[in-house]
Structure formats: C-alpha cells, structure tokens
Structure 1
Amino acid sequence: MTRTGTKNATPAAGDITGAQAIIELAEDVRLVALGYTMSVYTNKLLSQQPKGVLSAYDRYLRLYQRDLPPYYATENMNRHKKASKATFDMLATWLQPGAPPREFISLDLQATESPNDAPRDSFHVYGTEPAYPDHSDDDARVVAMSLDPAVCDAATLLEVFVETCSAIEFRSALAGFGMNTSRYEEEEAQTHAWAMGMRFRALDIPRMVDDALAVGSDGVKGVGWLTALGPEILDQLGGKAALRKALPAEVALIDLPNGIVLKAGEAPILGDRNRREPLAHYQKIYGLLAPWIDRAAKRSPSFNLETDYVDRTEAWFHRLADA
C-alpha cells in the first residue's frame, strides 16, 4: 500500500506535480486526484439541447489525440466497466431525434489505470428526464470535464470552457483546479478532499449528482479561476457594467453569446492557506455571488465525512468568506 502526500508539506507556486504529491491520496487505488476541472450547470433538459451537449462531448474526445478513456459507467451501473467502441456512441444515440424517452442522461468516462481510481482525465454528463418518477425541473443538469495538467495547460482549459459554455444554455459554471474523488472509498476520499479543500481554497470538489441538487434552479456552486454566469444571474447583478465597476481590473470579463466569464487573474491558483496565497480576486467574486452560493450550500447533500458532515459541508461552500 502506498500513500502519496505529506499533509503539512507546501508546494511551490506553479508546481503542479509537487501539489499532486501533497494533495492527492493513493492507497491501493488513487482516492483523490488533482487536476483541472470544469462543471457547467443548466436548467434546460439535456435532451432539449443535444447539439450543445454533443459539441462539448466531441471537444473532450478531441482534446488529446489519444486513445479513448478506457472505463465508463451509467446511472444504473454499480461499477465502472471497460469501454468498447460502442460506448462512445451511446450519448449520441440517446440524444438523437426520435430516441425513446430515458429517465436519465448520464454517462461517466474516465481515463485511469484502475476503474476504481479518481480521474485526472474524465467526461461526465448527468441529468434527470421527465420519464424519471422523481424528476424535478428544479434540479440542475451538469456537463463536466477533468483535464490532466500534464497534457492540457491553462490556456486550453480557458478555450474549452468558453466553447462549452457557448454551446450549452447554461445558468452558471466554474473551472480551475479541482479534486476528483473515488466513489468506491467515498468516506475516506471525501474526508481527505474536504481537509485539502479547506486548506487549498481555490479548489473545487466536483460531486456531479449532489451538485445538481445543490445548484438547482437558483443556486451557484462556487467560484473558480473561471466563473461563468448566464443571463438571468447577470441581470440580477445589474449587468456587465455593474460587474465591471464592482470587480478589480485584474478580473477579466469575457463575453459569451449567452452570458459572461469572470477570469480571476492570469492563471489558476491553489489558494494555499499555509502559504497565504492571495485569494482577493476569488473572494471579491464570492462576495457578489454569496446569496446564490448560500442557497446551494443549504440544499447540498453532505460530504461523506467521518464526523460533523453537515456543518463541514456548509463550511466548505463558504470557505472563501474568511480565506
């Protein structure tokens, strides 16, 4: 058994490999993985925007010019299984005109050595459909990716994020550094990720199904290096001019056909509290979005933690309030 990371070690600024050695958790499998993550939330059914969903999917598959991710799972699978060529046609089949109604549009692909590993490289789409007995229009739908920093740089993350947000009728989205957790040792993985997340406060912890419930129709998951706002939230904040006035010049505003991206600085950061890594830009955006984030925090299913899981979950959502 091996275990990566030294809890109190401090990675040098910009040293992603060093950060992975500290933040990731590996035993027989990798329970926590650090990489670039992005999550795009929409209130429109995925089946009603097939072109946008498939555009994001195709962009992911073209990213690396490499073999396809080897493991997959759908909503009714207890374990990830080896993918075949047919696996990669499933999403298009589900979304094609005239396809039989489904209860879920849910596909999880991950490029990992073991099917139980937390991925640095993955694609995930999740949303209930009206055929599902407990379907609610109040739940969000999620299109998410993880990009390995060993292969993709921050400029590529920005490019893919802008393309994905432009293709999907999104409500909110975020991207930057994040930690994926293995669903097969969930308590240990999420307990470790939560602790790392309270130290490295610029990191997201994607939990796709839980996040869909948390974000719902009127919440925001959080703040990343890139935070995208759809037209409804943008209007509630007073529009682009009001945002520009409220935010420092170092936060760039990038126009989208259907909203705006807030870019907090030139490159993503970890937000290491031990190094007192400045988080002022993230905190400023958090201050603007706090009412929406608070809704998500109160609605979110708890992290699967060893103790105090309700209070600690809410504390993680509000970690930028006193970073």
Structure 2
Amino acid sequence: MSELPFDPIEMMRQHPEKMRIPGGLLTKQGPQDYVGCIPAITGTLFFTNAHLPEVREAICACFDEYEAVAKAHLTWLWREEPPEGPDKFAYAKAPPMRAMVKRMKENDLLAFTYTSGEQPHDAGEWEFDVSGMRGWEAKMIVRGTSALRFSLPLLFVEENPTAFQAMFVSFAKRLNALHGYGGHGLVLSAVRLSDNQPFEAFLADKLNGLDVGNPVAGATHAHEGIKTVSWLTAVNYEKVEKVGGLTVLRSELPMDWFALYDYGAGLVIQAGPTPEAAPTDHLRPARLVLPNMLLKEVRAPMVSLHYGSKEGEPRLNGWAAEQWLKRFDIDDAELMAYKTKLLDEPKLTETTTLPDCL
C-alpha cells in the first residue's frame, strides 16, 4: 500500500507542478479520477472570538488580502452548514464573503473554503479555509479554537520570496492569533479529506517538515498550546514569556538564521530563508530543532490529526500522532551539537526577510 510508481520527494524538488496526487491513492478503493491532494506552502493560525463582529470583519479583511493575489486562480467556494443558500458556489458566481458574513448570526457556523481545483472536489494549490466557532461554542473554553488556513503554490513562493511571510504576519495581526505555523503542507480535497489523509500520512513519514492534519482537527487542542514549529511559527506573548521572554528567544535563535516579527499579540519566528521539507532520511535541520526545543514547554500535550483507519491504510492518530508531535525533539545533551550544526545551514538574506523584523 505504501509503494508508489514515483519518488514523491524528487518530484516535489524537481517538478512541483506535477505533484497532483490522484484522490484515494492509498485507500482500498485505489486511485480515483480527481485531484486528491497537492503540495503547497500553507499557513495555519488559531484564534478566538470568531462569533464577534470585529473578528468576523478581520476574517473578511484577511480574505480581501488573499483574494487580491489569488483571485485569478480561485474556482469554487464550499460552505459548511450555511444558514442560507447552497453549500457550493462557482467562485465567479458567489456572493462576496463580507456580504454573506454580515447576514450570519452569532451562533451560525462561519465556515468558508475557497479552492482552485478544476472540479469542485479537486484539491488546488490556492486555498483559503476558515472555520469560526459558533458563539455558544466559543464561550465553552474546553472546545478548542477557530482556525484559518491559506496556501500559496510552491513556485509562487519561490518567485516571491517574502510574499508568504508578509501575508502570514498580516493575518496573525488581524486575528490576534494565539499561535500558528507555516511551511510545507498538502492541500487535500476540501470535501474528501478522509480518502486523502492516507497519502498525507505516507508523505509525512518521508518529510518531517510537512504539516499534517486539517485545521479544524488541529483547533481541537489549540487552546492547550502550540501544535508544532515550522518555517514560520507564531506564538502569542503569553507563551513567549513562558519560555523566558524575548531576550531568551534572541539568545537561543541567532539573528543570522532566525527573524522575529511582531504581530501585536505575539511574535512570528522565521527559521531560515526558505521553507524546509526536512526529509526523514537526512539529519533533522537545526533551524527547526532549536525552536522546537525552545517552545516545547508551550506545546499542546496531544493533537488531533487524522480520522481512524478503515482498512488498515496509513493514518496519523493515537501513538503515531504523538510521535509526529515529537519529531523534532532531541535529548538536552544533543543541543550543543545542533547549535553547531546551525552554523552550516542557510542564513537569512535581505531578499528573503521582511524589512520590519525586530
């Protein structure tokens, strides 16, 4: 079930535009005639109070910013449990997000997924997905948080080396994000998640730098701490203080390799000039190991990633999910070796760093 007719790592490196994975590839039914998932650079942010008018306006402002770049590529809009109207629109015929949001009540589920797939169920490398908790859910703190995830194509990020960072920091500021992360990920079919999680699990076994799990699942435990570190990692100031404050961050994360951006409610840490896939057959990159060890104290104790396995197909849940959380953990005795290893890793450059870093 894990044998493929191609090397996904080499294809991602050399031909990312060809990495359109057939749906259901590692399920019992076998590959289907639609795009099940596609690699992209993805950013996920967890936040609260999505039932309040000012936060809903912030979500709309985030989409305005995303749409300004992605408009020509978007094709479909999916809505979950819309209070009125259909759950699917062709993007060109969809009402503006702000108009739909203004008609919603506090206890309506705010859930929009804009995609760029050719067919409604195809995954596309341009995607904007937000799931905002209902008012009554938001008032029950134990139920998790709201989440926003956006993606940009690999080649777009390569050709626009600060576009992703700028958008991620901007969204974090608008949403007063609790925390979040951004880097390599797979965009799965918005309406066929379960059938495509097995390939995500397979690829995660090859790439430590790959994000795993959909934002709604990640939000389940987001109130308990951060999910992971990545190329970009957002942490609010409460968590920054728990790990020793800004002075400790600057001391442990040297500025030649790590940039710090203030987003009002917290900091975004950029680790290195470009996203790191971190193949599992290589030594783990120090620029991910070091922030992981620094922020380990504020990591959520558990995480929800995938649905349960139906036919023995690969999934990340239970013990496997716990191991994924710990994939950048090392013994304290190894820290100095990784600090030395950092010296040989790519440094930040002026063209890959936002101008307003701390």
Aligned equivalents of 1:206, 1:95: Cα separation in 2: 30
C-alpha RMSD of matched pairs (Å): 3.0
- Gap change, CA 1:320 and 1:289, over 3 Å in 2: same
Q: Aligned runs of 1:1-323 on 2, under 5 Å?
A: 6=5, 8=7, 10-11=9-10, 16-19=13-16, 21=18, 24-25=21-22, 27=31, 28-47=33-52, 48-64=54-70, 66=72, 69-76=74-81, 81-85=88-92, 87-95=94-102, 100-131=105-136, 136-138=140-142, 139-152=144-157, 153-182=160-189, 184-215=191-222, 217-249=223-255, 250-274=257-281, 276=282, 278-297=284-303, 300=304, 302-305=306-309, 306=313, 309-321=317-329
Flag the 1:253–1:295 CA change in 2: closer, same or farther, 3 A: same
Distance in 1, Cα, partners of 2:241 & 2:42: 26
Within 2, Cα distance between the matches of 1:292 and 1:174? 14
- Shift of the 63–9 alpha-carbon distance from structure 1 to 2, 3 Å rule, reads closer
Could you say if the C-alpha distance between residues 20 and 220 of structure 1 is closer, same or farther in structure 2, counting changes exceeding 3 Å?
farther
Inter-partner Cα distance in structure 1 for 2:174 and 2:218: 21
SS in 2 for 1:53: helix
Deviates more, 1:157-166 or 1:39-48: 39-48
Q: In the TM superposition, what is the alpha-carbon distance from 1:20 to its structure 2 partner?
A: 6.0
How many residue pairs were aligned?
309
Give the 3-state SS of the residue equivalent to 1:316 in structure 2. Answer: helix
Q: Distance in 1 between matches of 2:59 and 2:202?
A: 33
Aligned residues of 1:5 and 1:22 also touching (Cα < 8 A):
no
Mark the CA change 1:232 to 1:190 in structure 2 (over 3 Å): closer, same or farther. Answer: same
Partners of 1:200 and 1:307 lie apart in 2 by 15
Task: Provide the C-alpha distance between the structure 2 equivalents of 1:25 and 1:289, rounded to a whole number of angstroms.
Answer: 36
C-alpha contact (below 8 Å) 1:173/1:229 kept by paired residues: yes
Aligned in 2, Cα 1:129/1:321: closer, same or farther, shift over 3 Å? same
Larger radius of gyration between Structure 1 and Structure 2: 2
Per-residue displacement from partner, 1:276-308 (whole Å, max 9, x unpaired)?
1651111111112224334242xx254444367
Q: Following the alignment from structure 2 to structure 1, what is the Cα–Cα distance between the partners of residues 99 and 115?
A: 18
Quote how far apart the aligned CAs of 1:197 are.
1.1
**1:315 aligned counterpart, secondary structure:** helix
Matches of 1:144 and 1:22 in 2, distance apart?
20
Give the TM-score normalised by the residue count of structure 1: 0.84
Amino acid at match of 1:162: V
Which whole-Å CA distance do the structure 2 matches of 1:54 and 1:119 have between them? 21
> Against the structure 1 CA distance between its residues 106 and 264, is the aligned structure 2 distance closer, same or farther, given a 3 Å change threshold?
same
TM-fit CA distance, 1:165: 1.2
Unaligned runs of 5+ in 2: 24-30, 331-337, 339-358
What's the offset of the Cα at 1:228?
Answer: 1.0
Query: What's the TM-score, normalizing by structure 2?
Result: 0.76
**2:350 counterpart residue number:** none
Q: How far apart, in 2, do the equivalents of 1:81 and 1:16 lie?
A: 34
How far the C-alpha of 1:171 sits from its partner, in A, is 0.5
Are the aligned partners of 1:71 and 1:80 in contact in 2 as well (CA < 8 Å)? no
Structure 1 contact 214–296 (Cα < 8 Å) conserved? yes
Task: Determine the C-alpha separation between the residues in 1 that align with 2:97 and 2:61.
Answer: 14
